[in-house]
A and B are shown apart, each in its own frame.
Chain A
Amino acid sequence: MRRPSSTSCPAGENGLNTATPGRRLGGVPLSKPPAFRQSLSGRLEHNEGLFAFLLVLPAMLIVLALYIYPLIYSFAISFLRSDIRYPEEFRGLKNYVEIFQEPDLLVSFWRTIYFTVVSLAIEMTLGIAIAVAFNNRFFGRPVARSLIMIPWAIPPVVTGIIWNWLVHAKIGVLNYVLYSLKLIPRYKPWLADPTWAMNLIVLADAWKWTPLVVLLVLAGLQAIPDELYEAATIDGAGGAAVFFRVTLPVISWPIMVTLILRTVEAIRVFDIIYVMTRGGPANATKLTTFYVWEIAFKHHMMGKGAALAYLITALIVILAVFYYRLLNRRVEL
């Protein structure tokens, strides 16, 4: 797109203003030296790159200030002793080395893997099943499709609060139902049990994010033409064969995209844990991001916290590259 030339300060064919500096042009006094106006408008007239750069400059500055600068700053402090108690001091790689010496790090890493794998397995299985079901025509489908999105629209903190109350040891609905049905002798403190606490957090996360999987997979399913199904049916394919031979290959791309998005998000989970268990009981739900928060914001060791955050970032980048290559390979196939 080209910027329209100025009407108050017409430019010559060569892009230079022909008016003499200091003279009145069309009876209107020039507010700035014409040479300047001439060169700026001329440059913009002929240099689309410069014009485009000026247009994106405000957005670039905002991104730099709000995204790039904190990224660089946090990376820089990962090499510092940035502890609230002491003056800042360069430590080289000591923060990274010390992180690996933390006794609980490996355990929290395995907990994160468990959380990610199990919650993704639930979300993907349920998400695909629901999407396939919602792709069929049935009474009330528009309403059902809208309702399924509600958990996704709820902020993670609110999700944590809802689940916290559902499974509350004293006033939770789950206990009320199970006790009323005589399935438990006394109300059970679900979140005080390490195994239950972790799996309930997984369930809460799966409840929140399954709708996203439904949405993305459903979008992929709707791109499949009916003729493909008809052809498969004519060829004698049954329901399972149609799903595995027709549906699944076509929706494999949206599934992979969803998998990448959800893996990154699952590794970064924090809100639900903070609200439901604060890493307890006995560290059973202390995942790596919660560990970062504890080191950086509770123990006020920002440098060490930043180092751990960057190690998690590196892990996410490796996973993203792996998924991306897998995705490309499948697309090529």
Chain B
Amino acid sequence: MRKGIAILIAALLLGGAGLAFGQTITVLLGIDAAGKHMGERAQEFTAKTGIKVNLVEVEWDAMVNKQAVALKAKEPTYDIVDCGSFMLPEYVPGGLYADISDMYTPAERARFMDGMLDGVSIGGKLYAAPLMASWTIMFYNSEMFLKAGLDPNKPPKTWDELVAYGQKLQSPTVYAIADSLAPGEYISVAFFRWAKSAGAKISEFRGNKVFWLVDSPECVKALEFMQSMIKDGTMDPGSPTYYQQQIADLFGKGQSSMLVNWDMMQLAFKNPEQTPYAGKIFPAVMPGAKAGLSGSVEGHEYLAIPSPSRNKAAAKQFIKYLQTPAVQKKRALEDGQTPVLKALFKDPDVKKVINLDVVFQAAANCYYRPAVPEYTQCADALSVELQNALVNNKDARKALQDAAAKLNKLSGW
């Protein structure tokens, strides 16, 4: 009996020693930020440092939920979490993200794309590290353009052209354009793009509070245009139910001729395993209400270290590894993710995979979602009113007036 107990204790001690032998960090990522090769990057990092990386890759909404629950419980569940700059005002005031200002020297900071660190700095302190740059851009299927008698090198530049193209491109089962207008952040982001392409000013800071201008004439014009596209068959009427990955899949299968999505999709649309139209799909900037206008939304992804993490040093090591030029280049070439290092913007290999000219044109016309704690609530409230207009419960003007009232109330006005 005693011998048995001794053996059991020895086994437990050995097991415990085994567990304590190597440090492990747990990283929570959205599937887009992770890409398809994050596992390989993690293995390379482990081989170099001995630090094991436990990757948790889930869809964006699930990632935000998991993160919020872990942060709320103040448990050291994750050592690194994926985030957007608009999430920081919700987590930083409560001390849920660690201050990582000491992570970079001034020279290191200067390597990042301009403005990237400003977006995740609060009160002069840095709370997240850039992982990938991202904007929404348009994609079009040149083969479908050609079959419809359109110039495959001339994507529509204005809304009028888009509608005219739409008349030629649509059939009983195929639409000119599909958009992700599902409830929540999806339709709100889409609306921001269309509003921006109408030349709208969507929100502005007045003091430390955001004031929403979603009932401006330009915003109303954008929503009316979205309604009219669904009515005349230019836009897939199923759009209010589609998520971003769904429309990318449908577009890849030739179910629509144009699509607005994140720039990282450029690589996927070049892959014959992903679409039979590989090599015939090209990026373009989104058409505007008139020539010279366009719209986009910024969606950079960052990595933050939750305050309860017990492996902050190891977490910083892994983040820095992901930001090395070699890894950033690999992520661009293998996953189509726009790098965060300025030096790579001139890299010929990167430029072959990612059309940076289109990306930066989109960036020049992009809307930055306001970094305020109530942003998610505002996006949800806006989403309901936008869908009210799209399903004809309200006219566009009334829906946006109601939205502006709700959003400004949520923002403390």
Contacts and interface: CB of A to CB of B under 8 A. Distances in A.
Interface of A: 82, 84-87, 168-171, 179, 185-187, 189, 191-194, 277-284, 294, 297-300, 302
Contacts of A169: 236-238, 241-242
B391 A192 contact: yes
Contact of A281 (B172, B240, B373): B240
Q: Pick the 10 closest A-B CB pairs, nearest first.
A: A169-B238, A280-B183, A189-B238, A282-B387, A192-B240, A282-B388, A191-B241, A281-B387, A189-B237, A281-B240
Contact of B391 (A194, A299, A302): A194
Interface stretch (B87-95, B131-139, B266-274): B87-95
Given A186-B172, A281-B387, A299 B376 contact: yes
Given A85-B93, A185-B172, A297-B68, A192 B237 contact: yes
Contacts of A189: 236-241
Interface of B: 64-65, 68-69, 71-72, 90-91, 93-94, 96, 172-173, 182-184, 233, 236-242, 250, 255, 373, 376-377, 380, 383-384, 387-388, 390-391, 393
Nearest to A189: B238
15 contacts: A85-B373, A189-B237, A189-B241, A191-B238, A191-B241, A192-B241, A194-B391, A194-B393, A277-B183, A278-B183, A278-B184, A282-B393, A298-B65, A298-B376, A299-B376
B206 to A, nearest CB: 21
A86 B71 CA distance: 12
A186 B230 CA distance: 13
Nearest to A184: B172
Given A169-B236, A278-B182, A297 B65 contact: yes
A82 B72 CA distance: 9
Nearest to A194: B391
A140 to B, nearest CB: 39
A297 B69 contact: yes
Given A169-B236, A170-B255, A280-B183, 13 more contacts: A187-B173, A189-B236, A189-B241, A192-B237, A192-B240, A192-B241, A192-B390, A278-B183, A281-B240, A281-B391, A298-B64, A300-B72, A300-B90
Nearest to B387: A282
B173 A186 contact: yes
B240 A280 contact: yes
Nearest to A279: B183
B18 to A, nearest CB: 28
Nearest to B238: A169
